[in-house]
Amino acid sequence: MEFILVILSFYITIGNAIDFESHENWNLLSLDKCGQISTDRIIGGTEAPMNAYPWIARIGFKKLNESKIRYKCGGVVANSFTIISAAHCFINKPKYEKFVVIQLGEHDVRTNPDCRDDFCADPVVYVHPREIVIPINYMYYKYKHDIAIIRTEEKINFTGFVKPICFPNSEMAQRNLTGTTGEVAGWGVIDPDKLKLSPVLQMIRLPIVDILVCKKKLPFYLSIGKTQLCVGGIKGKDSCRGDSGGPLMTVDDSSGEPKYYLLGIVSFGINKCGKTATPAVYTKTSAYMNWLLDNLVENSDNTKVIRIKRVLD
């Protein structure tokens, strides 16, 4: 069985010429269902409440001749056939390891279904990748244009435990995010010294700081710029290995109802994440909205297609 890795021509719109709502694919973003907040949601610690982020996905890989699936990245549901993640999760990977599955509706990986007190969530949902779309000028060694669209084989059915996240509209894209706070969630490494992934979905609130801070703190990545966000810089609080591709989110009520919006995608940081007051770099969602909208349904005319085998389930 196969799926296709599609690498597309890249273009980007930044600045005043932003009008996402007029794009013919804008309404494909499940606007009526996206970003809905659970009424019983409580934020207080590092462990996220069950069903706090029903759009979050786990990206699973399998080694040849092994049955075990290893979940190494995160992502978010955009619509019924689309997951958004980071390009580096899929590019320049060993040939013996293949991307095979996406898990939705998860909270505690040790139990299925997840239960709290007398309440149980639905069983987790599995969908499979059909295609991956990334910018053709994605730079692996610089993490530049680190964004990916995953098109799924099966339709993603929305429930109380699986929902899409909202995406920035034109007005939100014009905002200066420096000085604001976002939420990050994932099953990434808790202790970088032990490299053990968290079994329970974790969340953290982190400040968005000036991009110049990341340029100074991460001087080897000279291409850090306006298509990225600089996030964190608080010792002991950071996204880490295993969180890549996961969401940086914010709640916004400018449309009337408070909803979660995708501000960024976890891209890269230092190996000893959280050990020092060094921020991490995230892909800025609003910088790629036209590209995302262009590729929600069909490929652009200028494509490079690479076929790669998927390990059979």
| Residues sharing a CB contact under 8 Å with residue 66, sequence separation 6 or more, in sequence order | none
Active site residue 88: yes
- Three-state secondary structure call for residue 99: strand
Report how far residue 73's alpha carbon sits from residue 61's, in angstroms, rounded to the nearest whole number. Answer: 9
For residue 172, give the H/E element and its range.
helix 170-173
| Assigned domain for 43 exists | no
- Among 3-17, 38-52, 299-313, the least confident range: 299-313
Give the pLDDT score at 219: 78
Of 52-56, 236-240, 277-281, highest mean pLDDT: 52-56
Q: Pick from 228, 173, 178: which is nearest to 18 by CA?
A: 173
- Among 39-48, 109-118, 164-173, the least confident range: 39-48
The pLDDT of 184-206, averaged and rounded, is: 85
Take residue 43 and report the two structure tokens written for it: 């934020």
Residue from 30, 107, 114, 146 carrying the catalytic annotation: 146
pLDDT at 309 over 50: no
| Assigned domain for 96 exists | yes
The pLDDT of 149-178, averaged and rounded, is: 95
Give the pLDDT score at 122: 94
Take residue 243 and report the two structure tokens written for it: 């969180």
- The DSSP code for 170 is H
Cβ-contact 188, 196 below 8 angstroms: no
What ranges in 203-305 are assigned the alpha helix state H?
211-217, 289-294
Cβ-contact 172, 153 below 8 angstroms: no
pLDDT at 64 over 80: yes
pLDDT at 104 over 70: yes
Q: Pick from 287, 204, 289: which is nearest to 240 by CA?
A: 204
For residue 78, give the H/E element and its range.
strand 69-79
Report how far residue 271's alpha carbon sits from residue 190's, in angstroms, rounded to the nearest whole number. Answer: 12
Share of the chain above pLDDT 70, in %: 83
* pTM score of the predicted model: 0.88
Report how far residue 257's alpha carbon sits from residue 231's, in angstroms, rounded to the nearest whole number. Answer: 26
In this predicted model, which residue has the larger pLDDT, 118 or 83? 83
Give the pLDDT score at 116: 86
The pLDDT of 29-57, averaged and rounded, is: 76
- The DSSP code for 214 is H
Specify the residue for token string 């435990």. Answer: 161
Active site residue 19: no
Residue 13: which pLDDT band, with cuts at 50, 70 and 90?
A: very low
Q: Pick from 204, 250, 207: which is nearest to 229 by CA?
A: 207
Active site residue 146: yes
| Assigned domain for 223 exists | yes
Share of the chain above pLDDT 90, in %: 60
Report how far residue 144's alpha carbon sits from residue 201's, in angstroms, rounded to the nearest whole number. Answer: 27
pLDDT tens per residue, range 139-155: 888 889 999 999 999 99
Q: Are strands 82-85 and 69-79 parallel, antiparallel or unpaired?
A: antiparallel
In this predicted model, which residue has the larger pLDDT, 272 or 262? 262
Domains in the chain, number = 1
- Among 45-49, 72-76, 245-249, the least confident range: 45-49
Domain containing residue 29: CATH number: 2.40.10.10
Cβ-contact 250, 264 below 8 angstroms: no
| Assigned domain for 140 exists | yes
| φ/ψ (deg, to 5) at 67 | -95, -20
- Residues linked to residue 308 through DSSP beta bridges, in sequence order: 3
Residue 74: which pLDDT band, with cuts at 50, 70 and 90?
A: very high
The pLDDT of 21-36, averaged and rounded, is: 92
In a 10 Å sphere around its CB, with 0-12 CB exposed, 13-18 middle and 19+ buried, how is residue 21 labelled? exposed
- Among 64-73, 103-112, 188-197, the least confident range: 188-197
pLDDT at 81 over 50: yes
Give the pLDDT score at 235: 81
Average pLDDT, the chain: 84
Residue 148 is part of which domain span? Answer: 2-38+48-309
Residue from 30, 198, 244, 286 carrying the catalytic annotation: 244
Q: Pick from 98, 116, 99: which is nearest to 107 by CA?
A: 116
Residue from 30, 85, 88, 145 carrying the catalytic annotation: 88
Give the pLDDT score at 8: 54
**C-alpha distances out from residue 22 to 56, 167, 170, Å:** 27, 14, 10
| Assigned domain for 163 exists | yes
Give the pLDDT score at 44: 32
